[in-house]
């Protein structure tokens, strides 16, 4: 996208950028509402009590776990957006039907606070969002019309795609999201690896792949937070994240609808790849809302290499 000379890219805010994508007004509105909700989530993360659900705070008031609180913040915003039919989050037991009709409306699957168990040790966490047109949330990820995450780290950033590239916005001192990187692209291969799960539970192929990475001098960069870990691989443009099948957990840990589809959409948009070891994440037909799937995601050649090792073994 061309911006008139004299306009530095830091002056472009999220709403303006979305409008320039030539997408439906309802989708612009929806993404802006989610971005607004993120401001309340970061406030809760920064200042909220670190208790668990059902316990009470200093004043004897009942307090909510941060993931439950984040879920309520985002859900409320979605319900009042007026442009949503179905909503489902990692914290909800069933799909919430906000409006019965599908025409011109969107359905949203989200992980309100991924990595919530890392807040007490002050590591970065995030919100992950997947958006479909119409009411069906059990579609292949390739049908997403938009995906985004908000990363609550030392800074707050928002990375989104509506199928026209991947773009990063950073929250400024006025809590506005301003464009910091446009059309993020990943290199074909990289030297960062972020391996989830316990290594002694890896299958032989994955163990051999890790040894290959170590031998070629790749750097281990794993925080245990899916959003910051993916953000690093995506924005540095190099490397691979994996959360493979583990001995005893053949589907890995991460969830297809709330975590993997949106990240796979963003990484593919940036020229990378995401696979469960056999097929692209975005082509998996979900069998249930809480389906877990192993994942290898990142630079195209790194993912291909992982698949070679996995399928050879
Ligand atoms: P959540 O906090 O939404 O339950 O998910 C946390 C995820 C993700 O952030 C990370 O990649 C993974 O769990 C790490 O899990 P383990 O530390 O259990 O391997
Ligand atoms: Mn999660
Ligand atoms: Mn979560």
Domain ranges of the chain: 9-181, 192-312
Q: Are 257 and 291 in contact (CB under 8 A)?
A: yes
How many H helices and E strands in the chain? 7, 13
Q: Tell me yes or no: is domain 192-312 CATH 3.40.190.80.
A: yes
| The ligand 1 atom nearest the CA atom of 117 | 2
pTM of the model: 0.94
pLDDT in tens, 114-165: 999 999 999 999 999 999 999 999 999 999 999 999 999 999 999 999 999 9
pLDDT at residue 250, rounded to an integer:
98
pLDDT at residue 4, rounded to an integer:
56
Q: What is the mean pLDDT of residues 262-266?
A: 99
Tell me which of 9 and 72 has the higher pLDDT: 72
Whether 252 is in the pocket of ligand 1, judged by its Cβ within 6 Å, is no
- Whole-number average pLDDT of the chain: 94
Q: What is the mean pLDDT of residues 282-311?
A: 98
| The ligand 1 atom nearest the CA atom of 114 | 3
Sheet holding 146-152, edge to edge: 96-97, 84-89, 106-114, 125-133, 146-152, 156-161, 167-171, 177-181
pLDDT at residue 130, rounded to an integer:
98
Confidence of residue 1 (pLDDT cuts 50, 70, 90): low
Q: Write down the residue that tokens 């030297």 correspond to.
A: 191
Task: Considering every ligand atom shown, identify the ligand nearest to the alpha carbon of residue 253 and give its number.
Answer: 1
Residue nearest ligand 1's atom 17 by CA: 224
Whether 111 is in the pocket of ligand 1, judged by its Cβ within 6 Å, is yes
Domain 9-181: state its class: alpha beta
Residue nearest ligand 1's atom 3 by CA: 114
Whether 115 is in the pocket of ligand 1, judged by its Cβ within 6 Å, is yes
Whether 144 is in the pocket of ligand 1, judged by its Cβ within 6 Å, is no
| The ligand 1 atom nearest the CA atom of 198 | 19
Whether 126 is in the pocket of ligand 1, judged by its Cβ within 6 Å, is no
Q: What is the mean pLDDT of residues 158-176?
A: 97
pLDDT in tens, 188-213: 999 999 999 999 999 999 999 999 99
Backbone Cα Rg of the chain: 19
Confidence of residue 275 (pLDDT cuts 50, 70, 90): very high
């Amino acid at each position: 996208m061309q911006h008139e000379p004299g306009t530095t890219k830091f002056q472009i805010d999220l709403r303006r950028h979305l409008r320039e994508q030539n997408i439906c007004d309802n989708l612009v509105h929806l993404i802006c509402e989610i971005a607004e909700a993120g401001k309340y989530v970061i406030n809760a993360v920064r200042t909220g009590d670190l208790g668990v659900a059902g316990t009470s705070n200093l004043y004897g008031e009942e307090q909510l776990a941060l993931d439950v609180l984040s879920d309520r913040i985002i859900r409320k915003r979605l319900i009042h957006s007026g442009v949503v039919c179905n909503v489902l989050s990692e914290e909800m037991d069933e799909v919430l039907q906000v409006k019965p009709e599908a025409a011109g409306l969107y359905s949203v699957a989200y992980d309100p606070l991924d990595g919530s168990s890392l807040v007490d040790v002050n590591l970065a966490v995030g919100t992950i969002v997947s958006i479909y047109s119409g009411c069906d949330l059990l579609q292949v990820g390739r049908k997403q019309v938009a995906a985004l995450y908000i990363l609550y780290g030392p800074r707050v950033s928002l990375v989104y795609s509506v199928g026209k590239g991947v773009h990063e916005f950073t929250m400024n001192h006025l809590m506005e999201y301003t464009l910091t990187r446009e059309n993020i692209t990943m290199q074909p291969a990289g030297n960062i690896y972020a391996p989830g799960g316990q290594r002694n539970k890896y299958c032989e192929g994955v163990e051999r792949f890790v040894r290959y990475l170590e031998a070629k001098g790749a750097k281990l960069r794993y925080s245990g937070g899916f959003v910051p870990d993916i953000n690093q691989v995506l924005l540095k443009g190099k490397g691979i994240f994996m959360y493979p099948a583990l001995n005893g957990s053949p589907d890995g840990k991460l969830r297809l609808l709330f975590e993997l589809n949106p990240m796979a959409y963003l990484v593919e948009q940036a020229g990378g790849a995401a696979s469960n070891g056999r097929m692209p994440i975005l082509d998996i037909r979900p069998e249930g809302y809480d389906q877990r799937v192993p994942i290898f995601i990142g630079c195209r050649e790194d993912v291909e290499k992982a698949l070679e090792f996995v399928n050879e073994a």
